[in-house]
Amino acid sequence: MECLGCRIANGTEPDVNVVYENEFVACVLDIAPFNEGHALILPKRHYLDAEDLDTDTAYAVMDASRRISVALKNAFRPDGITICQNGGAFNDLAHYHMHLIPRYIGDGFSWSEPLRAHGAEKRLAQTKAKLVHALNG
């Protein structure tokens, strides 16, 4: 197994802190956590992006996100949880993974504004039409 994500998910990478697993996914603590409890959900089979996941694995990822969210809330009492997944060029692991980050008011985590104005807010009807066409096309 050459992929780091596959090695982590399948227990062959050393010093991994698994907090939950089943036949489809492993949930591990992020080695560079934004806040304590920051976890990753990784499929045990290799996938790159969300659209690559088979139905059983996609369900397992979402079920694990629910389970881990409850555990994070019980263990750390955060003000909220941010759940995110970066695909394509932004997937720094080159293996599908979902982040669950316990959040606290004033913790500094931010969703920033775009660096360049794109005007997408003025084209919502056209954007909707493109997406509906792509979904039905």
Hey, which CATH number is domain 4-107, 3.30.428.10, 3.40.50.10380, 1.10.1520.10, 3.40.50.300? 3.30.428.10
Which residues of the chain are under the pLDDT cut of 70?
A: 1
Residue 111 confidence (pLDDT): 81
Domain residue ranges in the chain: 4-107
Please give the radius of gyration of the chain, using alpha carbons only, rounded to the nearest integer: 17
Residue 1 confidence (pLDDT): 60
pTM of the predicted structure, to 2 decimals:
0.89
